[in-house]
Amino acid sequence: KNIEENQHSTLEKLYYRVYREKNLIKNNFERISKTSFDKRERIDSSKRKTAMDINGKIPLVKTFMRTNERNSASKQKLNRKPNLKSEAISKIKKENETIRALYQDIETLSLSDSISDDEERDGKKAPQSIELLNDKPIQKSDFLQRNYDFQL
């Protein structure tokens, strides 16, 4: 009786060992197939065209390549925030320059010194003053326009 119990226990042990091994093999096979599937998926995804591929990947770092349509933008914006302060200052400077230029033009638009280079070569002197008719008041804009035509 004792021997039978012992035999049974050994049989049981054997059965469980086989069962365990079978499960191990099954799990291992599943794991292998899963990894191979993952690898396949990875390869497929690498071959697949993404939105980035369609739009074109622009490198954001400065490269020493020849410029073309795709990387010209990357050389202009080198992945850094624009210096807004300096931009604003330069804009103000430009505006000031244009205003100054406009006012200078108005200041220099005097009739007395408007004479062409050809006339100067011929020895003609610039008209010192042109008498305006007092009975007809001339508007400033009209005067400027006429003066401009005169200079041309």
Domain co-membership, 95 together with 145: yes
The verdict on residue 34 lying in a domain is yes
Domain co-membership, 2 together with 42: yes
The 10s digit of each residue's pLDDT in 87-97 is: 888 888 888 88
Residue 34 has pLDDT above 60, yes or no: yes
What single DSSP character describes residue 90? H
The length of the chain in residues reads 152
The 10s digit of each residue's pLDDT in 108-144 is: 655 555 555 666 666 665 555 555 555 555 555 665 6
Average pLDDT, the chain: 65
Residue 111's contacts (CB-CB under 8 Å, 6 or more residues apart) are 127, 129, 130, 147, 150
What single DSSP character describes residue 89? H
Find, among 116, 135, 133, the residue nearest to 125 by Cα: 116
**If pLDDT is split at 50, 70 and 90, which confidence band does 13 have?**
confident
Domain co-membership, 94 together with 144: yes
Domain co-membership, 102 together with 133: yes
Question: Which residue range forms the structural domain that includes residue 130?
Answer: 90-151
